[in-house]
Structure 1
């Protein structure tokens, strides 16, 4: 997929995706700062401690197929905003993330997914 947007936004997104696919918790967390706020279906989480708990659970007890079967379906980057659509079947039928990147950190993230029953 072609890369547009800022070099910084693309670098953070590239690291985030690669770290998630490796199951690298510290690599994923390095993309965030204490003032980062991911918005999840269950509500926002704040700070590295809450981020660590969320990503640790996701990476140590992942849905079937994640992260090895992660397939990026769409990637759009404009300035400091990145948007991805992905799946990791059979456990994740479809997922979407939006990231706002400033100062080489994800400041805001939105996440939603359809998980297999």
Structure 2
């Protein structure tokens, strides 16, 4: 027997998408406010996955973002541009650039209980 989506399923999906969009918007705005504000988006069990390392928990994630923020060159934020953004339930996907510093980058966020639980990141 095929499974059918109900209106309550659709409402739950819309509610999850709205919560994920809210966390994504806060996350993007937090870069301008500093490391402490950025860290409000993460939980003790959060993980960031990159091509060469996994950052587990708030201490390691804080170190990841501290290094990133300290490495940003003048003109980076002025060059920052979102090329694509999509949210579906608890997943947000972002494609961005900051040329000539970053030609292309992607982030995928999994949001639960208003926190980024899993994030993937890659840049070229």
- Does 2:72 match 1:54? no
TM-score normalised over the length of structure 2: 0.82
- Is the partner of 1:35 in helix, strand or coil? strand
Distance 1:65 1:57 in 2: 17
TM-score normalised over the length of structure 1: 0.87
- Tell me what 2:27 maps to: 16
Structure 2 regions of 5+ residues with no counterpart?
1-13
Structure 1 regions of 5+ residues with no counterpart?
none
- Is the partner of 1:42 in helix, strand or coil? coil
Aligned length: 110
Q: CA RMSD in A?
A: 1.6
Task: Choose 63-72 or 50-59, whichever is displaced more.
Answer: 63-72
Following TM superposition, the consecutive aligned residue runs of length 4 or more in structure 1 with deviations greater than 3 angstroms are: none
- Tell me what 1:6 maps to: 17
Residue 64 of structure 1: how far off its partner (Å):
5.6
- Tell me what 1:105 maps to: 115
Q: Can you list the C-alpha shifts for 1:22-65, whole angstroms capped at 9, x where unaligned? A: 15111211100110011011221101110111101111221564
Based on CA coordinates, which of the two structures has the bigger radius of gyration?
Answer: 2
Between Structure 1 and Structure 2, which shows a larger proportion of helix residues? 2
- Tell me what 1:32 maps to: 42
